[in-house]
Amino acid sequence: MLKKLFSRWEAFIFITIELSLIYGVAVFEKVNSIDTESIASQLVFGTENFMERYWYPVSIPVYNGILLLGILSRTESRNYRFLMDILGTYSCARIIINLCIINTMLFVKTNTPSILLLQSGLFLPILLVLWGWVYWRFSKPNNSTLGNLFQLEIANYHVIAYDYFLASFRTVMAKNVVGIIGSNRIGNTLILLHEIMVWNILAIIFSRAIGLATVGSIQ
């Protein structure tokens, strides 16, 4: 039983990502804008309002349905692989949208800077987990349609999925992605994109933390 559950680790990864994103939405609902007339404010809160009213009521049940089908499917079947790839693609799109919103919030005046810091801090591990899946999915053992985009710089022991996630998380403590190299231009470009996204969110976290500390010291 445990072996079957562990073999469906991808499904549980996507469950974690989705629950974290939903919690991030709940956190964002507590943010209040001081300047509601600004373009940035209208763009951010307009996007969130649209997604809450029209997108989430449809996407969440569909996402959960695909997850359930994936868990019930045999991991060796094409059906399982197709369902997991759908969830991975959707999660990538959600991550990009959320990153754009978090960056746009830099131009929105709010009276809840601590909540924005929490939102950014919660987003970072989700980003790293998803990139770990991307590295694993488009590595040589998986025979993806895009080919072998990444490979690990490991030669002395058997590579498992955990190694790709470890390489992704090590980005936070290094200047670049440690242990992963691109097999071609697409792979190298995606690695650069990963590094930019991580540096971006780290810069936002530090700027939010400094801003919050400054406000606290003034008060």
Using the 8-state DSSP alphabet, how is residue 152 labeled? E
∠ Cα 135 97 191 (to 5°): 25
Asked if residues 150 and 138 have their Cβ atoms less than 8 Å apart, the reply is yes
Q: Catalogue the long-range contacts made by 88-91 (C-beta closer than 8 Å, 24 or more residues apart).
A: 88/10, 88/14, 88/130, 88/133, 88/134, 88/137, 90/59, 90/63, 91/14, 91/17, 91/18, 91/130
Check the CA dihedral 175-177-183-184 and report its sign: negative
Q: What is the pLDDT along the chain (219 residues), one digit of tens a residue?
A: 556 667 788 988 999 998 888 888 777 777 766 666 778 888 888 888 888 888 889 999 999 999 999 888 888 888 888 999 999 999 999 999 989 988 988 888 777 777 777 888 889 999 999 999 999 999 876 666 666 888 887 656 678 888 899 889 988 877 666 678 888 899 999 999 999 999 999 999 888 888 777 765 555
How far is Cα 73 from Cα 81, in angstroms, rounded to an integer? Answer: 9
Q: Full-prediction pTM beyond 0.95?
A: no
* Token reading at 206: 């530090």
Q: Domain extents for the chain?
A: 2-218
Of the candidates 99, 105, 95, which has an alpha carbon nearest to the alpha carbon of residue 30?
105
